[in-house]
Amino acid sequence: MLFEVDVPTKERFEIIDITDEVQRIVYRSRVKHGIVVVFTGHTTTGLLINEAEKGLLGDIKAKMEDLVPKGAGYAHDTIDRNAHSHLRAGLFLNPEVVVPVDQAELQLGTWQRILFVELDGPRHRKVRVMVCPCPKFLEE
């Protein structure tokens, strides 16, 4: 089952926790056992699974900015002036994350959250969420 989530971003570079919305979609799908695939079709966004602690999110942003600074003479900047956004997405993020589902619950670690990263905002973005059922594992 394919669902779509609207993600309006407010800042040029922003990290948004979308875990709760993905969990709501799993509940709505009524899938008890399987996987969920979360996908962004935008080349200047990405996804990651990590802790959503404010200090860590600031560190992630600072390190990306340090390693791939804006306006560093990238060839793509002659077109859109956003080469740094494409490079950060391609080097550090994924367009998708996959999470197991058991008993209709995302099987994330204690501190793990699904994070959507906007690198060229503010914009109106969409994330696709595919919930895939799997047969329950055979009891031993």
Rounded CA-CA distance 8/134 in Å is 32
pLDDT tens-digit series, residues 22-58: 999 999 999 999 999 999 999 999 999 999 999 999 9
Domain parsing of the chain, residue ranges: 2-133
Q: Please, which residues have CB within 8 angstroms of residue 38's CB and are 6 or more apart in sequence?
A: 18, 22, 47, 96, 97, 98, 99, 114, 127, 128, 129
pLDDT tens-digit series, residues 3-32: 999 999 999 999 999 999 999 999 999 999
pLDDT tens-digit series, residues 72-121: 999 999 999 999 999 999 999 999 999 999 999 999 999 999 999 999 99
Rounded CA-CA distance 5/127 in Å is 5
Reported pTM: 0.95
CATH classification for the domain delimited by 2-133, as one of 2.60.120.460, 3.40.1390.20, 3.10.20.30, 1.10.340.30: 2.60.120.460
Rounded CA-CA distance 98/16 in Å is 17
How confident is the model at residue 138, as a pLDDT?
44
